[in-house]
Amino acid sequence: MPTNGVPTKITQGSGTKGGIGESTLRPDGTLKVTGEFAYSSDMWHEDMLWGQILRSTVAHAEIVSIDTAEALATPGVYAVMTYDDLPTEVKHYGLEIQDTPVLAHGKVRHHGEPVAIVAADHPETARRAAAKIKVDYRELPVITDEASATAPDAVLVHEHRDDHHIGHVRHPNIVHRQPIVRGDVATARGRADVIVEGEYTFGMQDQAFLGPESGLAVPEEDGGVHLYIATQWLHSDLRQIAPVLGLPEDKVRMTLAGVGGAFGGREDLSMQIHACLLALRTGKPVKIVYNRFESFFGHVHRHPAKLYYEHGATADGRLTHVKARIVLDGGAYASASPAVVGNASSLGVGPYAVDDVDIEAIALYTNNPPCGAMRGFGAVQACFAYEAQMDKLAARLGIDPVELRQRNAMEQGTLLPTGQPVDSPAPVAELLRRVKAMPMPPERQWESSEGADVRQLPGGLSNTTHGEGVVRGVGYAVGIKNVGFSEGFDDYSTARVRMEVVGGEPVATVHTAMAEVGQGGVTVHAQIARTELGVTQVTIHPADTRVGSAGSTSASRQTYVTGGAIRHACELVREKVLELGRRKLGSYHPAWAHAELLLEGGKVVTDGGEVLADLVDVLGDEAVEVEEEWRHRPTEPFDLRTGQGNGHVQYSFAAHRAVVEVDTELGLVKVIELACAQDVGKALNPLSVVGQIQGGTTQGLGVAVMEEILVDPRTAKVRNPSFTDYLIPTILDTPTIPVDVLELADDHAPYGLRGVGEAPTLSSTPAVLAAIRAATGLELNRTPVRPEHLTGTS
Amino acid sequence: MRVNFTVNGRPQQADDVWEGESLLYVLRERLGLPGSKNACEQGECGSCTVRLDGVPVCSCLVAAGQAEGREVVTVEGLADHARQRARGAGGTCGTSLDEAKGWTADGTDSQTGEGAELSPVQQAFIDAGAVQCGFCTPGLLVAADEMLERRPNPSDADIREALSGNLCRCTGYEKIMDAVRLAAARQSEGV
């Protein structure tokens, strides 16, 4: 094999059954703790070059000229490419709308847009050469918010739109608009005893996965290219890459390299096309690895949002109506904005039953950084606002905030504002009850016989308080997230499962294109194969494009959809194995013909438990292999005027209770505990499920109290692209996170499971905000909350 | 320039090192030890944590030349380091030359990593579910192992303080806390 660090097969043997429902350990765990696991940035190839991208230093400008002569003349530089060097007529890409230039053409639309690429024999040579490229910009006015975007004389971010959304937006600087109208808000308002309004701001959050964008493109003898890449969806990348290179898809081979986290940030392309272009141009393998600074420019972020809400309720706390306007800043390119709009609008009232709803969500084109997928995907911003509204309503009504939520909680059968019935368990009230029932962390934990332990206090070892001015607050929130791709998307996955005897033992091989990004899909795949095929040895084949698409590792969908595909393929393999058995051994026992047969413990058994044969004997020298696509129930698009339609596949619910302590004098917050209760339908791997919930909860905590990409409103330039200035929670910032897992089966889903990954990211943020409000008495209409917001010094 | 130093007990020599290269770059790109990760290149994330003469450092902030003549332990050598400590070499850092000669890099032919002898903290990370994407794991392991060397029975506050320089984006740290507690407990039971 020419390439070092090519993913090797992971074989997991298990003395136990290791099927679904058990906390089996990660098959890649040992590789990851020994440093042997090959991430995309670890790839190495003899004779390889390093690629570097030159990015725009301004947000919005015409490119007057680009001079690459000095860069090209630098010793060690093999290639410099600009827009003019692109090999085909296809020079743009995009998830849904192909509006993103591979390299800037005539204009840049956001700070950090790729303008030119360089390949050199040392990364520092590539960096220095890129810095020698002279780009002459003529700056244009920047579009940074709704007012500037939709002004009658606004500069258009994209002049010649011809995408399928342009017909239903009122301004070309609006990517997509989705109204959701149900019932009659005007009439319902008349029934309300209390109406509360609020205007909320959600800051721009970064996925901040730790493994920066990276990959290695290796030119192949047939004129094609092999890309080893960290991504969330190999086939989506392939579909976008191949036309730009002018290659048929079968000449662009893609193998998943180790992925250091994703959280939505790898749904769009980053360096994929650039590495392939340089490899094909130079005839040499090219590796590109972003540093952290570049990573902040190299992927889309979570949409910052302005949210305007009106909630009405009767005196006994029943919601009469919800009216909302959600304005998401999509930045310079569309990315996943249309789908984010669909989520924000359709889930905009939260997990509550309310008949009269009028919601509008839009995403803007601006010159801010492009925004797209991040864990929670549109539902996060809405949850922050509607949960603040529920607290406001509770305060006005004099009803306990949890009680108010429970009175309005949706149940199985409740209609969403889209008119779609929730046709599986929706234990919203129960999750709130559970999270409220958890024991409270003791008060004044910092007190000890030796005085205050400052590590337990706001400010920590900065030693800013010994308890003076510290006030505790408790807050609750609950949320609803859709699972899987919605709005009529053909959201399928493919699995190839093979069964054969290896070394005297039956072994199942599972081959999918699923991107393992850390979530533990590989663990669950092996568990499913063991459960369905009764083997202990399961080999997980590296993910690549030699098997059909698995869809994206996002939308909490992989265990559902690729898990479902594996189960389906296993069922077909089982049928074939039993057929083989009947043919070979059927005459020995009548049960072969008549009984319900299962594969368990390496044997064919009757449903009564009688052993008919060893799988080793049934299979002999033969291998049984099946590759099949699998689909969940179809969905349909939302009506463009009313938002009505059965747009979603499944829902995931989580509730949080946050306990915080605030140094009210300095505005410092310490989150003491962040308890979560979540319904997961069926926990295929309980250890991983809890890990997902705790990780998602912590990302919600981050955007509550620290995480925000700051964009200068005058220049649209990013001010904090580093881990020094963009803060994510450390182990000191993160509290204990007790988790209560509820398992109410969704009968429509494989094993009754529910997607897990995103729901905890929703309610975590508003719970922390509610707790800070409870501690301070402040209104706090934006997140993240910074000290100046608590001390009145902003 | 040429840099000579000891990595995981083995004398190493790196040639043609450009003066601006970090210890992390030399480990990863010149010595074939990519276990230490580069996630921020400015000492904020701890993914590149190695021990330099026993002290945990961000190897991205150490110029390669500064390692001249010194001893480095990376995640690749962690199991061996822990084994020697258990054998009574504890307190000292690095590896004696004789022992180093017995040490070989883990074979790249290992398909599973199973069967590899792990240090207590490595095993605990797997058992407790502290590994998700795993990118932060090498740095956390080096930092946690060093803390357990100093403080065999750490309090939760001790653990949080010792690991506060290591960012993890996947786990929410709870399973990492579990793993370090587990490693400490197993270590004190002599398991």
Provide DSSP, A177-208: EEEEEES-HHHHHHH-SEEEEEEEEE-B----
Residue type, B32: G
Q: Which of B38, B134, B174 sits opposite A37 (nearest CB)?
A: B134
pLDDT band at A763 (very low <50, low <70, confident <90, very high): very high
In this prediction, residue B174 carries a pLDDT of: 98
**Residue A577: inside a domain, yes or no?**
yes
Task: Say how many domains are in chain A.
Answer: 3
Q: Write the pLDDT tens digit of every residue in B129-174.
A: 999 999 999 999 999 999 999 999 999 999 999 999 999 999 999 9
Residue of A nearest to B31 (CA): A44
**DSSP 3-state of B175:** helix
Which residue in B28, B33, B167 is closest to A210 by CB distance? B167
Chain A residues with CB-CB distance to B40 below 8 A: 291-292, 722-723
> Which A positions 633-692 lie with beta carbon below 8 A of chain B?
687-688, 690-691
Residue of A1, A6, A14, A34 to mutate, testing the B interface (most B Cβ within 10 Å of its Cβ): A34
Average pLDDT value for residue range A322-330: 98
Cβ-defined contact of B167 to A723 (cutoff 8 Å): yes
**Chain B contact for A588, CB < 8 A?**
no
Burial of residue B95 (CB within 10 Å: 0-12, 13-18, 19+) is: buried
Question: Same domain for A531 and A477?
Answer: no
What CATH number is given to the structural domain containing A440?
3.30.365.10
d(CA A282, CA A276): 10
Kindly state whether residue B82 falls inside one of the protein's structural domains.
no
Residue A287 has pLDDT above 70, yes or no: yes
**A 100-159 residues with CB below 8 A of B?**
122, 124
Is the residue at A175 inside a domain?
A: no
A727 close to B (CB below 8 A): no
- Residue A409 carries which DSSP code? B
Query: Residue B71 is part of which domain span?
Result: 3-76
CA angle A376, A379, A382 (to 5 degrees): 135
Residues 38-67 of B with CB under 8 A from A: 38-42, 44-45, 47
The pLDDT assigned to A556 comes to 98
Beta strands in A574-642 (DSSP E): 597-600, 603-606, 611-614, 624-631
The whole domain housing A757 covers: 434-481+648-791
- In this structure, are A724 and A759 located in the same domain? yes
Task: Confirm whether A344 is domain-assigned.
Answer: no
Cβ contact B45–A210 (<8 Å): yes
Contact between residue A390 and residue A353 where contact means Cβ atoms under 8 Å apart = no
DSSP string, A288-325: EE--HHHHHHHS-EEPPEEEEEEEEE-TTS-EEEEEEE
Beta-carbon separation of B161 and A27 below 8 A: no
- Angle (deg, nearest 10), helices A379-397 and A401-408: 110
Enumerate the β-bridge partners of residue A415: A421
CB contact under 8 A, A260 and B75: no
Give how many domains chain B has, as a whole number. Answer: 1
Report yes or no on B11 lying in a domain.
yes
- Check B137 against A732: CB less than 8 A apart: no
Residues A620 and A665 in one domain: no
Q: How far apart are the first and last CA of chain B?
A: 45
* Non-local CB neighbours of A597 within 8 Å, separated by 6+ positions: A578, A581, A591, A604, A605, A606, A607, A612
Question: What pLDDT score does B191 carry?
Answer: 55
State whether A690 and B40 contact (CB < 8 Å): no
Does residue A455 have a pLDDT over 70? yes
| pLDDT tier at A1, thresholds 50, 70, 90 | very low
Residue whose structure tokens are 């679904």 = A20
Does A608 fall in a domain? Answer: yes
In angstroms, the CA A217 to CA A288 distance is 9
* Cα A157 from Cα A367, distance rounded (Å): 7
> What string of H, E and C letters represents the secondary structure of A668-716?
EEEEEEEEEEEECCCCCCHHHHHHHHHHHHHHHHHHHHCCCECECCCCC
Residues A468 and A504 in one domain: no
Residue B108 has pLDDT above 50, yes or no: no
A610 shares a domain with A533: yes
Which tens digits make up the pLDDT trace of B54-73? 999 999 999 999 999 999 99
The pLDDT value given to residue B100: 43
Band (A543; pLDDT cuts 50, 70, 90): very high
B34 occurs within a structural domain: yes
How much is the average pLDDT of A39-57?
Answer: 97
What are the helix (H) ranges across A299-400?
337-346, 379-397
Nearest chain B CA: its distance from A672 CA (Å):
13
pTM, whole model, 2 decimals?
0.95
Residue A574 lies in a domain: yes
Q: What is the pLDDT of residues B115-124, one digit of tens each?
A: 568 999 999 9
User: How does residue A602 score in pLDDT terms, banded at 50, 70 and 90?
Assistant: very high
Q: How far apart are CA A67 and CA A46, in angstroms?
A: 31
- Nearest chain A residue (CA) to B40: A292
Phi-psi category of residue A223: left, alpha or beta, with phi > 0 → left and psi -120 to 50 → alpha: left
Q: Cβ A210–B136 below 8 Å, yes or no? A: yes
Residue B105 resides in a domain: no
**The dihedral of CA A700, A704, A705, A708: what is its sign?**
positive
CB contact under 8 A, B28 and A42: yes
Short-list A454, A455, A456, CA closest to A442:
A456
Distance CA A556, CA A761 (A): 12
- CA dist., res. B106 & res. B77, Å (int): 9
Based on the domain organization, do A566 and A684 belong to the same domain?
no
Question: Residue with structure tokens 């587990």?
Answer: B182
Task: Say if residues A746 and A650 touch (Cβ distance below 8 Å).
Answer: yes
Closest C-alpha to A347, from A552, A180, A554: A180
Tell me A588's DSSP state. Answer: G
Q: Is residue A666 part of a domain?
A: yes
CA within 13 Å, CB half, A45: 25
Query: Which CATH number fits the domain that encloses residue A97?
Result: 3.90.1170.50
Q: CA–CA separation, A55 vs A635, rounded Å?
A: 40
CA dist list (Å): B144 to A29, A589, B37, B76, B176: 17, 59, 16, 15, 10
B126: chain A residues, CB-CB within 8 Å? 25-26, 29-30, 33
Please check whether residues A596 and A517 belong to one and the same domain: yes
Residue with the two structure tokens 């690749």: B76
Give the pLDDT confidence score for residue A347 in this predicted structure: 98
Q: Are A116 and A63 in contact (CB under 8 A)?
A: no
| pLDDT at A305 > cutoff 90 | yes
Same domain assignment for residues A77 and A118? yes
Q: Is B82 helix (H, G, I), strand (E, B) or coil?
A: helix
Q: Which amino acid is at A172?
A: P
Indicate yes or no: CB of A28 within 8 angstroms of CB of B134: yes
Inter-chain touch A455–B161, beta carbons under 8 Å? yes
3-class SS of residue A417: coil
Strand ranges across the sheet with A624-631: A10-12, A537-540, A505-511, A492-502, A624-631
Same domain flag for A658 and A596: no
Query: Residues near A511 by Cβ (< 8 Å), separated by ≥ 6?
Result: A495, A496, A497, A498, A541, A546, A547, A627
H or E element at residue B145: helix B137-150
Task: Please check whether residue A457 lies inside any domain of the structure.
Answer: yes
Together in a domain, A707 and A617: no
Query: What gap in Å lies between CA A444 and CA A438, rounded to an integer?
Result: 18
**By the CB < 8 Å criterion, does A720 face chain B?**
no
- What ipTM did this prediction achieve? 0.96
Q: Say if residue A500 is in the same domain as residue A466.
A: no
Task: Please give the Cα distance from B73 to B55 (Å, whole number).
Answer: 9
Does residue A4 fall inside a structural domain?
A: no
Strand-pair partners of B5: B12
On whether residue B19 sits in a domain, the answer given is yes
Task: Please check the confidence at residue A3 and state whether its pLDDT lies above 50.
Answer: no
Is there a domain that residue B186 lies in?
A: no
Interface test with B, best of A14, A24, A32 (most B CBs within 10 A): A32
CA A584 – CA A487 distance, rounded (Å): 48
Instruction: Report the pLDDT value the prediction gives residue B102, as an integer from 0 to 100.
Output: 39
- Chain B (89-118) residues lying within 8 Å, Cβ to Cβ, of chain A: 106, 108, 110-114, 116, 118
Q: Inspect the interface and report whether the beta carbons of A11 and B111 lie closer than 8 Å.
A: yes
CATH number of the domain encompassing residue B63: 3.10.20.30
